[in-house]
Amino acid sequence: MWRDSKPLIETVRKFTEVHATVNDNLPDFDGLGFPFEGPAPLEAIANGAVFINPSFKPPKSRKTCDFFKDKPTLRELTSQNPYAEIFIGRPQVLTIDIANSSQVEDAIRDALLSKPVPYIPFEFTVLGMLQRVNILISKQDFCYVSRFPPLQAVQIVEAVPMQSCQDACHQHNLRCERSFFRLVNLPEFLNKSGSCKELKSNSSPYAPYSCSKQGNPDLYSCASVPTVPSIRRICPCRDFMCDQTAICSSCL
């Protein structure tokens, strides 16, 4: 996984010492592209370091990376740590193409000059975890079909062709909520425009599409990208609290 990292390390060595561990007095923490979504970048950011986050073009997925070949997910990772890329960003996170030496040099210069303060997103603190645990436990109801997140939190977004619901919701600063697919996967919802001459049920990770609803609830997917350009997905989204992405604003 790291056999091609020597040029990056040599570039970093021009500007600063190279260490293999995180310390509280290091200016930057450089990702090598693996492991994916590990905790080390968050630890580095919490210690005041700038995380240089490798971008992936094309995104890493089951189609492009052997690591994900046997994983039960259709997600596409646009960087080594998408959470840091999307929800933290500058100045703590610089997402760049690490194969581009000029981008690497510019990022290191930025990191050495910026000196951001230590930062921990609230959802990774003890209080943030306890808030999630409290809400999830207090909202459980074993006597009825789950009504959490609350239905009033749903926001419907129509994706553009060849776009996943995850990306469609993100474009509107929302998150795709898988539990809400049951609300849109209904004949009356799919055909309310009156454009469907018939409605079929299809067990496919890409359904519901066209005038077809998902026949298997286990295949509801925020990450599925349509295989045909003419298909546009109907996406159930929700908002989220600042620094607490697992909880919607009406979930409290």
Give pTM, 2 decimals: 0.82
For residue 167, the surrounding DSSP H or E stretch is: helix 165-171
E-strand ranges in 69-165 read 77-79, 93-96, 155-158
Domain segments of the chain: what residues? 6-123, 139-238
* Residues lower than pLDDT 70 in the chain: 1-2, 22-24, 145-146, 190-200, 202-211
CB burial of 115-138 (b: ≥16 within 10 Å; e: otherwise) equals: eeeeeebebeeeebeebeeebeee
What pLDDT, on the 0 to 100 scale, is given for residue 193? 53
Cα–Cα distance for residue pair 153/103, rounded to 1 Å: 40
Cα–Cα distance for residue pair 112/116, rounded to 1 Å: 10
What pLDDT, on the 0 to 100 scale, is given for residue 202? 67
